[in-house]
């Protein structure tokens, strides 16, 4: 007996080990999956770039258009909107009544006979009788419609509609962020394209001057204190050059990522002329109204509030008794029946008493969530108004800084040209020439960055107002040049509106 028990325990142990071995996760599977995903992502990026190949040159509006069309974040939001629409269609199917078709077959090995006893006299029948065949089939078609379920479906459909609106507003927010991010990255990449060569040349010249000053200091041709001072300033110039190179070299990488292009993709960025900048209307209350009407965050909160209100109404319905109207068509092949086919209709009322008690608790929770949604909307509205004022204020400051940067750029350029005329002198003058070239290049970059910051500040004003070209670009299926024209028209329209 003990041997049998030991064998049973051993068999169970072996089975457990085998089962555990079969269920052990193979780590190489994840490695292969990551390799496949990596290869698939790179292939997809190349295919997207090949659909509308990047031309030899690109304008700012074309960069924005390409980002709106091919940016992965935007694609995700568009897919979320499509999924929400499918969920709405699925929810609407619940409006239909419940229709159940049933077919069955019954068979037994003997006759289903029975005797009976009279309840009035107690007499028992002496003969067995039956009212059912040994073999028979039964089919039925039943339709039922619940009033409470219809009401619950109505509010569920309303909630799904609001979820579509939330997905659409989230897409709007993504497009607004894409436009702002692309503009910032485009300007940095453009400045790098224009100035990185000059920065590299100044860095090389400063390295050569540093070697020369070290040689002069070592041979005693210059005062040691003066030589160390010059070397320190040259090292500071070289350090500043490294910072400029770092800032400028990353712009193209960031821009390619926004455009969903391979990091090493090369193209020429068209020159952006420094056009006159719009003066924002002093009527800030008009801007506040625009923001409260258009900001996607507020529209999302509006939809969330409607969803919470629908939950409150659904909780009330769930506490009520269910009323079900039903009808049924039945056919039975039992030959002992007087009528083998018949129709039935009826009404059924049911009430889950415990469910009604739970509904009271749900109702309180949903009412609290509704109050929370109201409070969140008020807080967000205040934050939106503050963002409008901050954006307008930053735009004014950016304009003033751009004017100062323009004057500094002009003065530094003139000074650099004056020092370039005396290229025969060495020592202090050579160092001054290097420093002047650095200052001129730095001032030029600062001027371009200041103008870019004005444009970025203006875009932040647009974002604070919640305006975007979604209505103009539609679903984004148009070609990049067509989208670029629509985006140009939208930006020009907004510039005009800001000055009214």
The torsion angle over the Cα atoms of residues 374, 379, 382 and 388, rounded to 10 degrees, is: -110
Task: State which of 111-125, 205-219, 333-347 shows the largest mean pLDDT.
Answer: 333-347
- Which pLDDT belongs to residue 21? 54
Pairing of strands 98-107, 135-146: antiparallel
pLDDT above 70 as % of the chain: 84
CA distance 370 to 285: 29
Question: What's CA 237's distance to the chain center, in Å?
Answer: 43
CB 227 within 8 A of CB 216: yes
- Which pLDDT belongs to residue 146? 93
The torsion angle over the Cα atoms of residues 246, 257, 197 and 438, rounded to 10 degrees, is: -40
**Quick one: which of 222, 263, 179 has its CA closest to 458?**
179
**What Rg do the C-alpha atoms of the chain give, in angstroms?**
39
Query: Which DSSP letter does residue 282 get?
Result: S
- Which pLDDT belongs to residue 427? 43
- Which pLDDT belongs to residue 46? 60
- Model confidence pLDDT, tens digit, residues 386-428: 999 999 899 889 888 888 888 887 887 777 777 666 654 444 4
- Which pLDDT belongs to residue 424? 46
pLDDT exceeds cutoff 90 at 326: yes
- Which pLDDT belongs to residue 330? 94
Task: State which of 31-35, 410-414, 465-469 shows the largest mean pLDDT.
Answer: 465-469
- Which pLDDT belongs to residue 299? 92
CA distance 372 to 246: 46
Please count the residues of the chain.
Answer: 500
CA distance 467 to 482: 20
The 10 Å CB-count burial string (b at 16+, else e) for 342-370 is eeeeeeeeeeeeeeeeebeebbeebeebb
- Which H or E run includes 332? strand 322-332
pLDDT exceeds cutoff 80 at 23: no
How many beta carbons lie within 10 A of that of residue 73, not counting itself? 16
**Quick one: which of 66, 190, 200, 199 has its CA closest to 482?**
66
Category of 260 on φ-ψ map: left (φ > 0), alpha (ψ -120 to 50) or beta? left
- Which pLDDT belongs to residue 2? 45
Long-range contacts of 295-300 (CB under 8 A, 24+ apart): 295/384, 295/464, 295/465, 295/466, 296/169, 296/170, 296/172, 296/173, 296/176, 296/466, 297/169, 297/173, 297/380, 297/384, 298/377, 298/380, 298/381, 298/384, 298/466, 299/165, 299/169, 300/166, 300/169, 300/170
pLDDT exceeds cutoff 80 at 305: yes
pLDDT exceeds cutoff 70 at 41: no
- Which pLDDT belongs to residue 26? 55
End-to-end CA distance of the chain: 100
Query: Which DSSP letter does residue 277 get?
Result: P
Task: State which of 120-134, 156-170, 279-293, 406-420 shows the largest mean pLDDT.
Answer: 156-170
- Model confidence pLDDT, tens digit, residues 197-226: 877 777 777 777 777 777 777 777 767 777
- Model confidence pLDDT, tens digit, residues 172-197: 898 888 888 998 889 888 888 888 78
Helices marked H in 421-479: 428-465, 470-473
CA distance 388 to 68: 24
Place of tokens 């069955």: 104
- The residues, any chain, with a CB within 8 Å of residue 260's CB and separated by 6 or more, are 45, 48, 49, 66, 67, 70, 71, 72
Tell me the mean pLDDT in the region 443-465. 85
Mean pLDDT for the chain overall: 81
CB 331 within 8 A of CB 140: yes
- Which pLDDT belongs to residue 9? 47
This prediction's pTM:
0.74
Query: Which DSSP letter does residue 427 get?
Result: T
pLDDT above 90 as % of the chain: 17
Place of tokens 């500043």: 240
CA distance 84 to 460: 29
- Band of the pLDDT at 364, cuts 50, 70, 90? confident
- Band of the pLDDT at 329, cuts 50, 70, 90? very high
Six-digit token pair at 30?
Answer: 């994840």
pLDDT exceeds cutoff 80 at 480: yes
Least confident range of 284-288, 354-358, 403-407: 354-358
Question: Does the CA dihedral 340-343-349-350 come out positive or negative?
Answer: positive
- Which pLDDT belongs to residue 468? 80
**Quick one: which of 175, 60, 142, 468 has its CA closest to 294?**
468
CA distance 470 to 463: 13
**Quick one: which of 189, 182, 187 has its CA closest to 68?**
182
CA distance 48 to 258: 13
Residue of 351 and 354 predicted with greater confidence: 351
């Amino acid at each position: 007996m003990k041997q049998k028990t030991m064998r049973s325990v051993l068999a169970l142990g072996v089975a457990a080990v085998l089962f555990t071995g079969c269920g052990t996760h193979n780590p190489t599977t994840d490695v292969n999956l990551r390799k496949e995903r990596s290869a698939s992502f790179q292939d997809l990026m190349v295919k997207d770039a090949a659909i509308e190949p990047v031309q030899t040159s690109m304008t700012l509006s074309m960069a924005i258009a390409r980002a709106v069309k091919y940016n992965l974040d935007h694609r995700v939001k568009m897919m979320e909107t499509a999924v929400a629409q499918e969920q709405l269609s699925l929810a609407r199917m619940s409006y239909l009544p419940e229709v159940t078709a049933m077919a069955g077959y019954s068979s037994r090995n003997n006759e289903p006979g029975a005797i009976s006893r009279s309840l009035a006299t107690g007499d028992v029948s002496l003969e067995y009788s039956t009212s059912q065949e040994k073999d028979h089939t039964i089919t039925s078609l039943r339709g039922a419609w619940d009033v409470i379920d219809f009401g619950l479906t109505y509010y569920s459909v309303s909630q799904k509609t609001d979820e579509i609106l939330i997905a659409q507003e989230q897409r709007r927010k993504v497009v607004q962020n894409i436009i702002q991010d692309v503009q910032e990255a485009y300007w940095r990449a453009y400045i790098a394209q224009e100035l990185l060569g000059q920065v590299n040349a100044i860095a090389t010249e400063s390295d050569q001057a540093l070697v020369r000053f070290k040689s002069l200091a070592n041979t005693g041709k210059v005062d040691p204190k003066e030589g160390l001072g010059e070397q320190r300033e040259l090292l500071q110039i070289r350090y500043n050059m490294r910072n400029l190179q770092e800032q400028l070299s990353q712009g193209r990488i960031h821009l390619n990522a926004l455009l969903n292009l391979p990091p090493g993709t090369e193209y020429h960025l068209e020159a952006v002329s420094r056009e006159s900048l719009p003066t924002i209307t002093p009527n800030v209350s008009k801007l506040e109204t625009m923001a409260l009407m258009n900001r996607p965050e507020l529209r999302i909160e509006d939809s969330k509030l409607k969803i919470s209100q629908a939950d409150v109404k659904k909780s009330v319905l769930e506490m009520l008794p269910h009323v079900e109207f039903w009808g049924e068509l039945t056919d039975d092949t039992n030959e002992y029946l007087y009528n083998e086919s018949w129709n039935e209709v009826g009404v059924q009322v049911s009430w889950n008493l415990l469910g009604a008690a739970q509904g009271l608790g749900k109702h309180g929770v949903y009412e609290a969530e509704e109050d929370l949604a109201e409070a969140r909307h008020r807080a967000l509205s205040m934050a939106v108004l503050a963002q409008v004022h901050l954006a307008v204020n930053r735009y004014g400051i950016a304009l003033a800084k751009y004017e100062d940067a323009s004057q500094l750029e002009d003065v530094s350029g003139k000074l650099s040209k004056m020092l370039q005329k005396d290229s025969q002198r060495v020592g202090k003058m050579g160092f001054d020439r290097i420093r002047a070239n650095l200052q001129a290049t730095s001032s030029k970059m600062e001027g371009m960055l200041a103008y870019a910051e004005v444009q970025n500040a203006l875009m932040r004003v647009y974002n604070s107002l919640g305006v975007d070209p979604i209505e103009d670009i539609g679903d984004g299926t148009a070609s990049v040049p067509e989208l670029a024209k629509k985006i140009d028209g939208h930006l020009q329209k907004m510039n005009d509106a800001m000055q009214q």
